A and B are shown apart, each in its own frame.
Chain A
Amino acid sequence: MLRKLLDWLERETGVISAWGRFWAQPLPQGVGWWHIFGALTLITLVILFLTGGALMFYYSPTPDQAYASVQYIEHYLPAGQFIRALHYWAARLIVLLVIIHIVRVFLWGAYKRPRQMIWVSGVLLLLVVIGFGLTGYALPWDQKAYWGTVVRLKIAEGIPLIGPSVAAFLRGGDTVGAVTLMRFFVLHVFVLPALVFLLTAWHVIQVRRLGVTPPGVQVTEEASVPHTQMLYPDHTARIAVGALILSVLLIGLSLRFPAPLEPRANPLDTAYKPHPDFYVLWMHELVNLFPPHLEFVGSFVLPTILLLLLLVVPFVERNPERQPRKRLKALSAGTLVLLAIVALNVKGMEALPQPERLSPLEQRGQQIFVELKCYSCHGINGGGGPVGPDLGLGGKRDPEMVRALLRNPSAHNAHTIMPAYQLPREQEDALVAYIVSIGPNSKMPPIPPTEPEKPASHFEENWFVNHKFEVRKDPGSCSDCHKPFFCQACHQNRRPSSHDAQWLKFHFGNAAERPEMCATCHSPDYCETCHKVMRHDTQWLRQHGAKLNELGDKMRWSGETMRQLCSHCHTPQSCQNCHGVPMPHPEGWDEKHAQVGHQNPALCQRCHNFQSDTCQTCHQMRPSSHTEDFRKEHPRRITDSGASCQVCHGRNACMDCHKVPMPHPPDFGESHAKLGQQRGWKGYTGVKKLQAAQCATCHDVKYCNQCHQP
């Protein structure tokens, strides 16, 4: 069945025999292991194409999504991390393979007549590979991607005449941003792949047409070399073994070292220092050799000269010899250039920051740094939040100073918003050791992705300054992720702008209408700190005096005492409105109060119980007004002066002695008999009893006889 299908395909198109003819290429004697690097480069290119295609399924080339999509690839997809690492490492290996391939071709003299154009296409392919590297660099949109791209476009801009236009074309706008990212993406996945496809096809077809160069044979004597082996299977076996070794290396690297992903690009983070990749390091060093105004010589003129030299090598070097010892001039020139590049690269690598070497204690400190989320405010040479100072700057720190700062940041700066950290001794030691170890070459440790993830708004420019608007729009969305502590950490020393001097007066309205606003930053018991003693409900009316006396000067909120807090809403007059007397009682009140008490005893009674200690402390002595004949005199005194017994003796002052209502109510004449009946005294004996018990205090029997005739 399959055979029939293939036969039909062959009849119709001829591809089967073409495929067979391609592999049945005879190769000259002497082609061996050194000749596999071209094929290995091609295999690596296929791997890059495959893995790049898989990554393209998930990558989104916009600044607000690029980083998130790369994180998604890294953390949520099966084999996502592996595929990205494969792409990353294959992209580095292909540069090495291309260089080895070029050096091999150069040493073997394989670029000579008639294969000059194969060499030219190879040099162009090298350029395209570098182009892939430069554009792919920007795509993850992490710090390295962003700042690397910014720096390179700046370098490109320095080239006279064409520089600004080239940079503007690549940037697509005034700043590196959405348009730039899309351009780099399109270059990386469309333009350059198309170029690489065309050039590779040209390269391979030409090799197929002209044959592989026989090693060590003069240009004119090629025809005499016997072709003792076939491309398949003799040479493909070597390629297959090479591919196996390459794959073991590639897969091993990918599994052991995942592709790095730095913190998300932050255009405001000027503390970040980008470092170039190894294969362009020599170019950066070259740029550094020149003073700033001549930078373009290193960045453009010399590399262009080098490129032109490479391109014209087969047309300039016309020596027909291929034996290395008969081409000393060309070889020494080539070696010189290669050595120069290697030397520059080595120099560049020395300038690269040494990777941090942390002691176990410092490593523990680094863990704590991540656990405590110090990075959300502080960067380490970039990468952190924009709030606190970057810890990579500022030179060597004193451990004791760091310790003191951690324990009490506001002792150092009264307006700091950094929260105090009271850590166990062991953790504190580790954290202090780590912070002290941070220098200009330290890097932000990898920050694990948190779930739920930060929404895109948190990466907006000025998010830190503008978050209040978002909070006001939908406070609930903050408290989905953040505990009130999170807000308090900063706001304990810096109240939100809404909480101004008038805030206390108006906060009740906000709290009643949108309680979720308060709940965003304040824990539920926060209101209670004030309101459990000062809630303006029915209980409050009864208790506010006592509470004020008890806590008025002790309890403080935001630096003010409770008494001062009352004055935010209430004028002193408002106390008097209810109390009728100045509150709290002014100086010299002791002298004045008798008058008020006599005039309107009810005023005093609103707060004071006359049996209470407050009155009794002074009034336990018999006042001078209560003369010897006071018992007899007091009805007249009361009637004459309007004084009230109740001021001192309480509300029931008359009843307590008289046991009947005093003065007698108007209908007492009719009802006084009932009084006796109510008390269970009946008949004549009852009248006698009542008279003895109650009436006789004031009235003698004659008084009764005025009405009751005996």
Chain B
Amino acid sequence: MEQQVTRRQWLAFLVKALGTVLAFAYGIPVLAMVIVPAFRKQKSPWIKVGEIKEFPAGEPKAVTLSYQRRDGWVIRTVRSTVYVVNGTDGSLKVLSNICTHASCAVRWEASKSAFYCPCHVAYFDADGKVIQGPPPRPLVQYPYKVEGGSLYVRLDNV
């Protein structure tokens, strides 16, 4: 009788141990698949804007970018416009063309040397700073890099 109880205890332990092992063997991959991707930060890719020599110093130039954005398994072709401002002092900026006030598209007015937003008559200077009008913030600047003579931009906070 003594031995019987010991055997049963051992079997109970075996069942619990194997049960736990199997629960982990199946549970961990399942949870990993469901949970982990939600916390993966997707870095937006570097998008080629053009050759650096295409942007003359002084005059901001609008470039329409066309790139693929991945939303899970859906891949869409997205387009957005940026202004490349190649300063006469050698500084380079890549500005969004979206007004920070009501998200209208701004355009460069060469006659006024300013970005003009037609929605509420706002002006930004070539650095994107507000000159006049309601926008609360300067135009968004995108991080960029120059590699092998080409300008790349990362549209991070679109």
Contact = CB atoms under 8 A, between A and B. Distances in A.
A77 B39 CA distance: 12
B25 interface: yes
Contacts of B131: none
A310 B85 CA distance: 80
B30 A51 contact: yes
A452 B68 contact: yes
B22 interface: yes
A84 to B, nearest CB: 9
Given A78-B33, A80-B33, A452-B75, A243 B68 contact: no
Interface string A450-470: 001101100000000000000
A72 B33 contact: no
Contacts of B34: 54, 57
A240 B36 contact: no
Interface in B17-48: 18-19, 21-22, 25-27, 29-30, 32-34, 36-37
A416 interface: no
A53 B18 CA distance: 23
Interface residues of A, number: 43
B33 to A, nearest CB: 5
Interface in B58-78: 64, 66-68, 72-77
A65 B67 CA distance: 20
A528 interface: no
B18 A244 contact: yes
Given A50-B30, A54-B30, A247 B25 contact: yes
Given A60-B73, A71-B73, A247-B22, A233 B33 contact: no
A480 interface: yes
B102 interface: no
B32 A79 contact: yes
A58 B67 CA distance: 24
Which size bracket describes the interface of B in this complex?
Answer: 20 to 34
A53 B22 CA distance: 18
Contacts of A239: 15
A69 interface: yes
Q: Which of A54, A65, A68, A230 has the most CB of B within 10 A?
A: A54
B73 A58 contact: yes
Nearest to B75: A453
Interface of A: 47, 50-51, 53-54, 57-58, 60, 65, 68-69, 71-73, 76-80, 82-83, 86, 230, 232-234, 236-237, 239-241, 243-244, 247, 251, 452-453, 455-456, 474, 476-477, 480
Given A79-B30, A474-B77, 11 more contacts: A51-B26, A54-B30, A57-B33, A58-B73, A76-B73, A80-B33, A232-B12, A239-B15, A455-B75, A474-B66, A480-B68
17 contacts: A57-B33, A58-B33, A65-B74, A68-B73, A68-B75, A71-B73, A72-B72, A76-B73, A79-B32, A232-B12, A233-B8, A234-B8, A236-B11, A237-B11, A243-B18, A456-B75, A480-B67
